[in-house]
Amino acid sequence: MEMNIRELKTFDMEEILNLYDSVGWTNYTERPDMLEKAFHHSLLVLGAWDGEKLTGIIRVVGDGASIVFIQDLLVLPEYQRHGIGSQLCREVLKRFSSVYQIELLTDNTSKTNAFYQSLGFKRVDELGCCAFIKA
């Protein structure tokens, strides 16, 4: 399977909401106006396509110099475990290779830990750091 990765400059919110819905991210699907605004204010959004079908998205926020934060990385369930998420993440890491810090926040499961560690990420506690969030 060969994916076409490209930057999204305009957003088909129905297609994007369907993708978020497919992975159960209801915090976004229940707030479509917030999600659309978030997309428009993102530093970078990349999509993966199988033909004309959007199969995955990675969304990055930040200043692009000292920090970028990978806010969302999601792939349609039927396309997961085919390297799409890795391709999307590697493209972000390549585009922002000179940025001081690239961060993300994710579920603490063995699957997600293994995935991000395979891409070179470290848990913050391995660096003598901790993280805080106000949600």
Tokens of 27: 């915090």
Ordered by where they begin, the domains of the chain are 4-127 (3.40.630.30)
Assign 3-state DSSP to the chain and report helix, strand, coil percentages, each to 5: 40, 25, 35
pLDDT for the residue 3: 81
Type of residue at 28:
Y
Q: In the block, which residue shows the tokens 């990765």?
A: 5
DSSP string for residues in 24-63: T-HHHHT-HHHHHHHHHT-SEEEEEEETTEEEEEEEEEE-
Instruction: Render pLDDT for 24-78 as a digit per residue (tens, 0 to 9).
Output: 999 999 999 999 999 999 999 999 999 999 999 999 999 999 999 999 999 999 9
Q: Mean pLDDT over residues 104-122, rounded?
A: 93
pLDDT for the residue 67: 97
Q: Is the pLDDT of residue 1 over 80?
A: no
Q: What is the mean pLDDT of the chain?
A: 95
Type of residue at 5:
I
